[in-house]
A and B are shown apart, each in its own frame.
Chain A
Amino acid sequence: MFDFLVSSLTIAGIYALMALGLNLQAGYAGLLNFGHIAFAGLGAYAAGIGFGLGWGVLPSLAMGIAAAMLLGLFIASIGRKLAADYWGIATLAVAEILRTIATNEGWLTGGANGISAIPALFDGLARPWDSVAFLALVAAILAACAVVCSRLGNGRFGRALRLMREEPQLATCMGYDLRSLKTRAIMSGAAIAALGGFLYAHYMSFAGPEYMLASETFLLWTMLMIGGLGNTAGVLVGVVVVQAAYVFVPFIKDWLSLSSDVSGAIRLGLIGTILLLCLMWRSEGLVPEKLRKMP
């Protein structure tokens, strides 16, 4: 039970990192990124490839974050002249291309089998303590990122992003360069997501193409929509709610002795249902964003 709790919390913390990254783009800047998981996938593969090359942890991490930020730059440059919904489809396409490449270029990524036996970060410690130490690391990184994100969100940068989201023409008039704002929002979100993916690969000691499935992005979206777009507290609430729902599915499976097809379907359907209900009846989320109003 203890192990189960620790692993659920660790995974929730990692998803929270990815969701914080998405929130910078979708919440503050209002960008419909449907390929966000690609950034996390790059981070995960960086962990695997870096390990294969015999690099240390920090250089691999730097490689992953740099790759994700480059991809972010590319995605942002596609978005230069696209309307929001078209751009969403484009990001979905980029993520799918990346997944196809990861599945087919076996010399680099291990193909469909992925890269396994990535070492856990705290192998030196005794049995329960290695996972506890990992959880502590994730929690510390998450806390740091949450503080940075909420300060970014409430600071000048976040205010500029919100202004761009609500009144793009006004933002242009006030001298903001919208293209640069978008690019910076996407790139910083990409960096945080890559960090999450990197930790996930080390935690699972595996990196594979199934990390980049589009449904993972929608899982992150569900977290955001439930918690509330545009504020850090809302994101964390959303992650906890969705993760709790997710963690219960295996119990339901054992309890009703369902097949794994059905339990997979229940997971997907649960997320879809929660997302849809949330959109229809509470589209601002459980913790709505507070916009400052001019008196």
Chain B
Amino acid sequence: MLQFLVDTLLRASDLALVALGLSMLYGLVKFPNVAHVQYAMFGAYVCYGLHAAGTPLVLAIALATAATGLFTLVLQVLVFQRLLRGGPAIAMIGSLAVSMLLIAVMQGVAGSFPRMFELPRTEPLVLGDVRLARAQIYSVATTIVLLGLFMFLLFHTRMGRAMRALASNSMLANASGLNAAFITRLVSFMAGGLAGLGGSMLALSTGAHINLGNDLLLPVFAAAILGGLGNPLGAVVGAMLIALTETAVTNMNFGPVFGQELMFLPVAYISAASFLILLLALLFRPYGLFDREVRRV
């Protein structure tokens, strides 16, 4: 049981940061940026490269976060602002093109073979019958601290109030004198940074690889949509739900249902679990679990 909770928590912390950034940015730019999960892959490779070049791990992660944030900001200003003039559909197709380009560049530079971090071996922490690597504990702790910071920023500062106002009604917010362009840039930077950080921490355990972004695509979107796109707090809850389902689906013994001793779903179907939740969410709660806003047609 403890193992189950720990697995869920680890997976949730992998997804939450990326989903939070995606959801936050969606609130301002109003199109689902499919390339967002590729920023995580970008961050993972930058972090790997820096670490392999001899930067201390913590510094490498921080630099990768900042670099991904800057990269996202540049893309937002140079590419997506222009595409958005053609409407959200054009911008979304454009984000697909950007993600193809990013994958292509990374594959060309780093090859398709996964790059594992060379970390010093540390004694795992033993809790009951659960073994936890130090890196995992640090990554969960970082996620929790960051989520706390963001919640504080969003709900207790002037900047957070401005961001929420702009997300819920941009015309009204513009009319009341908010600097929309500046806020959008700031949020792009933060969203990209979060994705980069999430990707770097994910890469610590799985290595930096080309499919890191693609593997995140559907769980992250499922989390963000489940929480209601544009609702950052919802995205975190969505990530937890997705993590819970994925862990449950893989750890549950379906044997008794089919009259057999032991029967587990093949691991390859983990991803199908999140697709399924995404579909169910879209079918029954298309605007997320926590929707109080006016419907968009």
> A residues within 8 Å of B by Cβ?
30, 32, 34, 78, 81-90, 92-94, 96-97, 100-101, 103-104, 214-215, 218, 221-222, 225, 259, 261-262, 264-273, 275-276, 279-280, 283
Residues of A within 8 A of B101 (CB): 268-269, 272-273, 276
Q: Complex: how many Å from CA A78 to CA B221?
A: 17
Partner of B279, one of A78, A218, A221, A261: A78
Distance from B37 Cβ to chain A, minimum over Cβ atoms (Å): 12
The A-B contact count (CB < 8 A) is 131
Q: Mark B163-180, 1 if CB is under 8 A from A, else 0.
A: 000000000000000000
Q: Complex: how many Å from CA A78 to CA B225?
A: 15
Q: Mark B233-254, 1 if CB is under 8 A from A, else 0.
A: 0000000000000000000000
Q: Complex: how many Å from CA A262 to CA B225?
A: 35
Residues of B within 8 A of A90 (CB): 278-279, 282
Q: Are A221 and B105 in contact (CB under 8 A)?
A: no
**A275, closest chain B residue (CB):** B97
Q: Are A81 and B275 in contact (CB under 8 A)?
A: no
Partner of B107, one of A96, A261, A275, A283: A261
Q: Are A268 and B79 in contact (CB under 8 A)?
A: no
B interface SS class: helix
Partner of B89, one of A32, A215, A273: A32
Q: Complex: how many Å from CA A270 to CA B296?
A: 36
Residues of A within 8 A of B269 (CB): 100, 104
Q: Are B271 and A96 in contact (CB under 8 A)?
A: yes
Distance from B250 Cβ to chain A, minimum over Cβ atoms (Å): 14
**A279, closest chain B residue (CB):** B94
Q: Mark B116-139, 1 if CB is under 8 A from A, else 0.
A: 000000000000000000000000
18 A-B contact pairs sorted by A residue (CB < 8 Å):
A32-B92, A78-B283, A81-B286, A86-B286, A89-B225, A89-B282, A92-B217, A94-B275, A100-B269, A218-B96, A259-B111, A265-B107, A266-B108, A267-B104, A268-B104, A269-B100, A272-B98, A276-B98
Q: Is B56 in contact with chain A by the CB < 8 A criterion?
A: no
Say yes or no: A221-B100 contact (C-beta < 8 A), given A90-B282, A100-B269, A100-B271: no
Residues of A within 8 A of B32 (CB): 85-86, 88-89
